[in-house]
């Protein structure tokens, strides 16, 4: 396992309640949305397996008309980047994703009274930036604890078993009428989401959730809340002081930790709840991050929200390796979710693919070459219109050699819906190059 890329979500599935028993468990993982997925045909002698071949399960296509590669049972492998005992929420709960009913207006409220109060309660002599105590006094009313429940029915007993799995996370208020920004993995799979403000519990609706970016937006029926003032994550500098606020361990809401920006634009691969791999570009900080902090805020020393905390290193030998979604990214995703019900403009090719990296898998599929093979093509998709077929082995995309599943995702993700890409595949011993105009990924494909 690559020790440099062992990250875990600060999972919402922090504790597990079965019946009346509740116990804490450490949890973790992360993920990659590979909506455009994998490989092609055979012929010749298989090249030696290299560590670059890292099979990752692809998300399943919805029930449409498919052309499938019937060459035996496909073995799905998972990259073991994170192996944490995550109790709880698997599945694709997206809540009530509604379209134009919800339009979020980020409030840049006048906080002079709040700042004056924070300054008055501090012994700091002031300055261009606030002290940690001043920032804490200013921003903690905007960060809220989130608890979640998922009801699971098991069939292993005579009468069936009803279990409730519970989790905890954090969220940041971004409008005074009850919109809250959090991480998708905090609420994914939850049947009930509760936000607590000043000891009052509010039932929350998930109005938008995007696993690929790990961003979700909640709505509670409340007025007069204190929204965080949104800053500019593009203006951050390495070494700049920051403060993280959240709900570690699920019962320590309002916890404040401080640190610095350790790195910007850090490319991190994280294994998600469903085993897929997310490639995210995150802010790295050494502010203390613990399970339950996910969805909480990372603030600069002006008290502005610059990131949404979402991951930490799972390596027990590593300290001070926390990560946050840049707020510019999170707000952009949130606006799209609320206005469209999904993140617009994402490319969609319409294939499912698998990595063949060993003789056993090759035999299962009935192929002789190792590589990335297409196993399913969605009828009417860009791939279908381009003439791609199940059994094709993807050799290159836009001239770049395809050696692993991640190569396919990374190249396609560099494009937008409407772009045309060139795909070379091997089919029945022949090389074939086709052009495909990428469609748009929506909840329906």
The residue out of 285, 312, 340 marking a domain boundary is 340
Q: d(Cα 97, Cα 214) in Å, to the nearest integer?
A: 15
Q: What's the number of domains the chain is made of? A: 2
The reply to whether 288 and 363 lie within a common domain is: no
DSSP state of 71: S
Residue 277's CATH number: 2.40.10.120
The residue out of 340, 366, 396 marking a domain boundary is 340
The reply to whether 398 and 335 lie within a common domain is: no
pTM of the model: 0.68
- Count of residues for the chain? 445
Task: Tell me if residue 294 is catalytic.
Answer: yes
412, part of any domain: yes
Q: d(Cα 393, Cα 407) in Å, to the nearest integer?
A: 13
The residue out of 340, 370, 395 marking a domain boundary is 340
Q: How is residue 237 written in tokens? A: 């500098």
93, part of any domain: no
* Full pLDDT tens readout for the chain, 445 residues: 444 444 545 443 333 333 333 332 222 322 333 223 333 333 333 333 333 333 333 444 444 444 444 443 332 222 222 222 223 332 222 222 233 343 444 443 444 454 444 444 433 333 358 899 999 999 999 999 999 987 776 665 555 566 777 888 999 999 999 999 999 999 988 889 999 999 999 999 999 999 889 999 999 999 999 999 999 999 999 999 999 999 888 788 888 999 999 999 998 887 766 666 778 999 999 998 988 899 999 999 999 999 999 988 777 677 888 999 999 999 999 999 998 888 988 999 999 999 999 998 888 888 888 999 999 999 999 999 999 999 999 999 999 999 988 889 889 988 999 999 999 999 998 999 999 999 998 888 7
Catalytic residue among 13, 276, 290, 294: 294
Task: Tell me if residue 185 is catalytic.
Answer: yes
Catalytic residue among 10, 188, 210, 214: 214
Radius of gyration from C-alpha coordinates of the chain: 23
The reply to whether 393 and 270 lie within a common domain is: no
Q: d(Cα 234, Cα 360) in Å, to the nearest integer?
A: 47
DSSP string of 99-134, one letter each residue: STT----------HHHHHHHHHT------SSPPHHH
Task: Tell me if residue 102 is catalytic.
Answer: no
Catalytic residue among 16, 102, 185, 415: 185
90, part of any domain: no
Q: d(Cα 144, Cα 173) in Å, to the nearest integer?
A: 7
The reply to whether 311 and 365 lie within a common domain is: no
The reply to whether 358 and 264 lie within a common domain is: no
Residue 139: which domain range? 112-340
Spell out the residues 6+ positions from residue 102 whose beta carbon is closer than 8 angstroms to its own. 207, 208, 219, 338, 339
């Amino acid at each position: 396992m690559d020790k440099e890329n062992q990250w875990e979500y600060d999972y919402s599935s922090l504790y597990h309640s079965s019946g009346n028993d509740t116990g804490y468990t450490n949890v973790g993982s992360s993920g990659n949305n590979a909506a455009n997925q994998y490989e092609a045909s055979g012929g010749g002698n298989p090249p030696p397996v290299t560590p670059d071949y890292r099979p990752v399960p692809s998300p399943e296509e919805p029930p449409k008309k498919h052309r499938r590669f019937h060459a035996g049972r496909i073995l799905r492998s998972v990259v073991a980047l994170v192996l944490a005992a995550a109790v709880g929420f698997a599945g694709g709960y997206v809540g009530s994703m509604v379209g134009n009913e919800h339009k979020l207006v980020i409030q840049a409220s006048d906080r002079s009274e709040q700042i004056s109060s924070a300054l008055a309660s501090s012994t700091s002599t002031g300055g261009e930036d606030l002290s940690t105590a001043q920032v804490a006094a200013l921003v903690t009313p905007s960060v809220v604890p989130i608890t979640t429940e998922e009801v699971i029915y098991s069939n292993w007993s005579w009468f069936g078993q009803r279990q409730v799995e519970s989790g905890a996370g954090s969220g940041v208020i971004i409008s005074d009428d009850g919109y809250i920004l959090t991480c998708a993995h905090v609420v994914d799979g939850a049947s009930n989401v509760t936000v607590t403000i000043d000891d009052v519990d509010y039932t929350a609706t998930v109005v938008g959730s995007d696993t690929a970016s790990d961003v979700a937006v909640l709505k509670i029926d409340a007025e007069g809340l204190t929204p965080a003032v949104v800053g500019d994550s593009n203006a951050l500098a390495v070494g700049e002081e920051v403060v993280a606020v959240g709900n570690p361990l699920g019962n320590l809401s309002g916890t404040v930790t401080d640190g610095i920006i350790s790195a910007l634009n850090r490319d991190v691969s994280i294994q998600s709840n469903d085993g897929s791999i997310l490639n995210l570009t995150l802010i790295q900080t050494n502010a203390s991050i613990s399970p339950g902090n996910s969805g909480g805020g990372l603030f600069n020393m002006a008290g502005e929200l610059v990131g949404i905390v979402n991951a930490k290193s799972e390596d027990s030998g590593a300290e001070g390796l926390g990560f946050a979604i840049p707020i510019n990214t999170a707000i952009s995703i949130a606006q799209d979710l609320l206005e469209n019900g999904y993140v617009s403009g994402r490319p969609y090719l319409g294939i499912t693919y698998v990595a063949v990296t060993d003789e056993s898998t090759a035999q299962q599929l009935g192929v002789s070459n190792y590589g990335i093979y297409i196993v399913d093509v969605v009828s009417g998709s860009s791939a279908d219109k381009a003439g791609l077929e199940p059994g094709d082995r993807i050799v290159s995309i836009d001239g770049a050699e395809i050696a692993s599943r991640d190569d396919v995702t990374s190249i396609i993700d560099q494009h937008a819906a409407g772009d045309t890409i060139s795909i070379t595949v091997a089919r029945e011993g022949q090389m074939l190059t086709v052009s495909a105009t990428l469609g748009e990924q929506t909840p329906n494909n």
